[in-house]
Structure formats: C-alpha cells, structure tokens
Amino acid sequence: MSKEPIETVDDVKAAGFAEADSRVDSKKSSASSSDELNLDVILDVPVTLSMEIGRTQINIRNLLQLNQGSVVELDRFAGEPLDVLVNGTLIAHGEVVVINDKFGIRLTDVISLSERVKRLA
C-alpha cells in the first residue's frame, strides 16, 4: 500500500496556476497562432466579481445589537484602494467611480499570476 500525500484545495489551485503560468510563458515565446493557449473552452464560464472595501470582526452580542443607522468600523482607511476579487481570489485593487449614476471600479493595480499563486500558499 503506497501512501500518497493528500492534496488540499490550495495545493491543487497552486499547481493549476503554476501549470497555466508555465504554459503562458512558453506560449509567449512562440510566434505561431496554432501554439496559442486555447481558451475558447472556458471563455463562457461565469465567475463572480466582487469588490471589498474592508473587513472587521465582531462578537455575536454586538452583531445582534446592530440596527438601522448602526455604524460598523472597518479595517481600512478612507481613500485606500478596494480589493477586486474573482470567486473570492484577489486579482486587483481599484478605486470607486460613478458612471451614469451607477458605481464602477477603476483598476489601479492588477495582481500578477505568480503573486496570486504565492498568496494561495
């Protein structure tokens, strides 16, 4: 009976990002379009894009006391960039903008693929 190490979800994600990163790097050096990474398979897969302005931790007693008009202090200062997350994974930072009376976000810093892999570990 051979014992193989049990992989965590983070291990699997990191391996997938590392493999994709190496494929992208090898494809960048190739000039032929037939060698391009075929992303058509995943282009229509839906993902959840969310923006996070901050976080805080409170105990249940304080949570139950919240009502309309309550103010909850977050861990960020005013003016700090928001986190842009795709399916819960940080991919960028940005600032809030208003476009035709709707909120939007202007990306100010996009996290590199290798940095995202490091954050998973």
d(CA 49, CA 91): 10
Domains of the chain: 39-120 (2.30.330.10)
d(CA 64, CA 12): 38
Could you tell me if 53 and 74 are in contact, meaning their C-beta atoms sit under 8 angstroms apart?
A: yes
Q: What radius of gyration, in Å, describes the C-alpha atoms of the chain?
A: 20
d(CA 61, CA 84): 30
For 84, other C-beta atoms within 10 Å of its C-beta total: 21
Decide which of 33 and 89 is more confident.
89
For the full predicted model, state whether its pTM sits above 0.85: no
Residue 47: predicted pLDDT? 92
Residue 115: predicted pLDDT? 84
d(CA 69, CA 102): 23
pLDDT digits (tens, 9 = 90+) for 71-81: 999 999 988 99
